[in-house]
Structure 1
Amino acid sequence: MAKHDQAEDAGHKDGGVFGKNTELIFALLCGVALGTGFGLSYINTIPTWTSLSLYIVAYFFGGYFTAKEAVQTILKGGFEIDFLMLVAAIGAAILGEWAEGALLLFLFSLGHALEHYAMGKARKSIAALTNLAPPTALVVRDGKEEEIHIEKLVLGDIIIIKPNSKIPADGVVIKGEGSVNQAPITGESVPVDKSPVPDPAKDYTSEKSIKPQFRVFAGTINGASVLEVKVIKEAKDSTISRLVKMVNEAEKQKSPTQLFTDKFEKYFVPVVLILVSALCFAFLVIDEPFSKSFYRAMSVLVAASPCALAISTPSAVLSGVARAARGGVLIKGGRPLEDLGSLNAIAFDKTGTITEGKPQLTNAIPLNDISEEELLTVAVAVEKLSDHPLAEAIVKGAMEKLKKQKIPEAHNVKGIIGRGVQAEIGGKKIYIGNKALFNKAGIPQDILKQVEDLEKGGHTSMLVKRDKDFIGILSLMDVPRKDAKRVLSELTDLGIKKMIMLTGDNQQVAEAVAKQIGITEAWGDLMPEDKVKAVQKLDKSEKMVAMVGDGVNDAPAMAKSTVGIAMGAAGSDVALETADIALLGDRLESLPFAIGLSRKAKGIIKQNLWISLGVVGALIPLTILGIASIGPAVIAHEGSTLIVVFNALRLLAYKNDA
């Protein structure tokens, strides 16, 4: 009963004559036989052997699974609590206390069955993830549509996703546009718009980063449009399969508390066995019959069995990991689950974690009586012909403001490396670039001040010049995520004392972003190795520190932190492998949810420890002194075991806003 490994649970699922409910039905039959025998014992006209026969029947049904597990464990060289309970029941029978022994087996077997049922609920929560993906897919082969099992899909297959149906495989959209509900995998509450990849013929199976608008995951739900998807991962390698595998592996990884309880049991069980053996011979020291000493020893054996202690932490870890997975957070075991709830500081990578990860047009300031519309039109005409990374951001931002404005044609476009771009529009020369493109002395002082003020605020600024006149200033910035400020505030409320942003950008930009979102400190001008040193420094001062990043270039810093947390890990093999905790969706708000869940799990683990240790601590002296017999000891013992399991199951109902 103390060890609930997968092999044991598998055995209970196989059940017996009554299927998977055999153990519970056997326990109930034991109770019926015990109750009937006990009732008949009060009727003088009925022979005593009738009640005894019913108690023997109760022994069979109550002891069947207990004996089966005890034998299996002994054959493997183990020694568990099932064996101790069996010895106690046999001891009661030897003393002629058949009713007491039957009561022990009834409550033990009933507790065992209900406990397996309760733990099964937590495991079903994980198993439900595997059922998210449909069993079949509609595939197009040789120009014909056919429905096949998802295991038979091969890389490069084209599958058709009908409206409002589940997506059967990881892939990229090659035809059709629409939204997909990704909540089952990433926890995102808002459907994500999907569109076809630019090159449908390309092999995307080994592509490291695929934009979210092109990618779909098995188990997500298509919206109202028909999509054609190219399969890029086999069923066994899909994000959902990897998630289920990792959650199951996480269950096996022990938490610090679990390691403590294992160590405690290692010394506690032998001490109990020595105590029980000594109590069997108490009649040699005190004036009482052997039967009384033996009965007391059996009572102590039941009272001291640490069933509740053994199951208290694994049940909470299993429930916590399962609940996190349902919320789009992969927690790899008990250690990160507990550590996450003990954090004092969090270090964030800036780009793509705190910020959107791509520059946006933030300001278009017209100069010399030029309208904003004219400035943006000139900028779009030139930048749409440039391949510079910032050009795309300028064009996108400007077009959103211009709507369907007609754009003039630019000619003789030429990039000036590290400075900007030049072109001609309507016979006039246009220059767009940084201060270095222009002679600093030639930039009017008032315009130069505006540019420098923007740069102090963390913006990348560009001047726009037409012939001899400056007609405007454009500024871009990798803007903070919309939810960043709120998330950081929630983390503060959760008790995180220090939040530091680490970035390769200059200190000025780092401080500007930090000011906007209310982060504690910003450390700029950092190389990847500097981030590792920064995390080590935080680890020394704050003891428990997490590093949040994208799981690729931040992997070394994550490895040095107490808990490494990867953002947007769905579909990213590297992020899933390197991080202790993976936020599957690209959602910063998953972080307070994960920390809140961890705090709740830590609280429940502590409660379970107090309950289990408290009951054992109270029962041992009560049974030694003879105040409590086997019956009350069994009730308290089994009751505490069920209490800790059902207490742990409360984590499955944890709410995001709790």
Structure 2
Amino acid sequence: MEKTLRLDLPLLLPDTPDAHGACAQRLAESLETREGVSIAHVRNTESGGGMELCIHYDPALLSLERVREVAKAFGAEITSQFGHLVWQVEGIPDQRRARAVSAQLRSLPGVVEAEANAKGPLRIEFDRRQTDENTLRNALQNMRLSLVQDESRPHEPTGEAHDHEHGGIFGAQTELIFVALCGALLLIGWLLPKFVATPPWAPLFVLVPAYFFGGYYALREAIDSVRTGRFEIDFLMLVAAAGAAALGEWAEGALLLLLFSLGHALEGYAMGRAKRAIEALGALAPKTATVRRDAKVEEIAVDALRVGDIVLVKPNERLAADGFVIKGESSVNQAPITGESVPVDKSPVGDATVAAEKPDLVDAENRVFAGTINGGSALEIQVTRTSADSTLARVVKMVNEAETNQSPTQRLTDRFERIFVPAVLVLAVALLFAGFVVDEPFSDTFYRAMAVLVAASPCALAIATPSAVLSGVARAARGGVLIKGGAPLENLGRLTAIAFDKTGTLTEGKPKLVDVVTADDVAEEELLRVAVGVEMLSDHPLAAAVVRGGRERLGDTPAAESLNLRSITGRGVVADVEGETTYIGKDDLFAEIGGPAIPPSLKIQIEALEANGRTTMVVRQGDRYLGVIGLMDTPREAAPAVIETLRTIGIRRMIMISGDNQQVADAVARAVGLDEARGDLMPDDKVETIKKLRAEAKVAMVGD
């Protein structure tokens, strides 16, 4: 009977950053060649914290220990032969340059695979028998690329963060400055003969420098492309500009280079901004974590965290890893990950052993995420995912992948460019030799070949699509909408559905006091004086909302004098107000502390408020119930009008997706005029929801 052995992949291939890469596949294929092994494949671990190798074998032919030994031997052999590098580099402003870098690296001896990206890291897989890391570093230097961070060495200390985008002598803005100089010189060269009597050759003194500034970066990229046998649009534009100069039309050639370099510079600028936005998202997680290992407490790099580690989280500190609470109670601000507008109360899990085995089944009140912010109490959490596999890391990866997608028109342009550029070059060369077929002077043949080059100069190909994209993006930006790239812009014209995030998109993004319901024979002023007096002593975001809204309603009336605030984490607070013990918290708190039960009339009001998406807080002073307060992240005033406008322009379906609970989501949806809302969604769940919607309609996502 066939048996199965599961082994952690990082233990077999410790230097492999991508579990889905070629080395993992080599290991599986090597094992399948072994007699007694039927299938070997890579899959996610049941805990979701990493990847494992699953080996199906016949115990009659191979023992368990033998399978383990064979797997380790094959893994060691592959690790010793193949190396993997993940480097952050500067000097790749766009995807065209990324393609050239990838091609140059693949052409090097020993490089098995190389993948460069304008917004992500450079990944290289190489054969150690033919090349080494230093050789590859030197190759990058020869390509004018600077190494920013070596992610293949995550535990090495790094210096302070600084801007590495050195585009030249003027830093990151060198290319834009060169474009401005080219434009200024071109304008001077065009105006000079019109206002000053000069010899015909005088404008060349400014047009030749204009050529330099306009063609500098295009020339560098053209050289890189030609080295790898690729003739791209940069090369054709330079040849066309040279052809214009050969015909004596220096101004036209400089104009070609100006337009091309302008589009290229703006694309690089947009890429840089997108890269910085992604880096800022990744910076939400701290760089170090305090862990308890072998009865010792130490601070280590987040990259060194392992599944099962116990992390100590101080009050008001960012959480370093995904996991579940094993000790302590606190409220956690999960807005950076889930978008929830109100901090979520966290408490210890009932059975840590079961939670460790099945972390995806842990309740929301016990689960925490890297990048979120702890409240006023200390927590101890057990790690369920490494930093590279955390929810935040996956969000960054998804954003990065979305950012690098080209629009359909841009992809079509790239495909056409690969045919068009060499075709024009071949035609121009053919025309140069036309004199051997047609009896005419070489000067005429040369003029005709250069005229074809200039006429075929790919201004429309190089500039039309970027210009249209930039115009659309600029117009949207004036309306307060930031569109990152051509693909989203083109898709906007074909939309039939829109999905909205709730917090900060349809709502204000912070809780407000919206309801004050008093008990019988209690004035609203009395309830608010007590509530504001107690909550003034707390630093909880909900307390701040009560104080802010309560003071607005009280006006000049002072709050009640309160002392000795104590937190009942996850349920409420207690304080001494004018000599009486006063409780403010969830309705289930009062069943725990004893005393009179909540009056039925007040209970009905609580249920009605919660059904409308309110967060409720009951107030009791001594044995007397004063009433209940309702808080809510209120919808933006303009939201209903915007929704109605979208309906009038043809958006047939609009849906709200949120990390808040379903009741809150439904309440906000009703308030802004949406018919459909989905709550209790994590970032991954939101992505899955969008994928399902894409199967039904052309959909856009608005918000986080």
TM-score tier (shorter): 0.3 to 0.5
Higher RCO structure, 1 or 2 (CA under 8 Å, sep 6+):
1
Higher helix share: 1
TM-score (norm. length: structure 2): 0.44
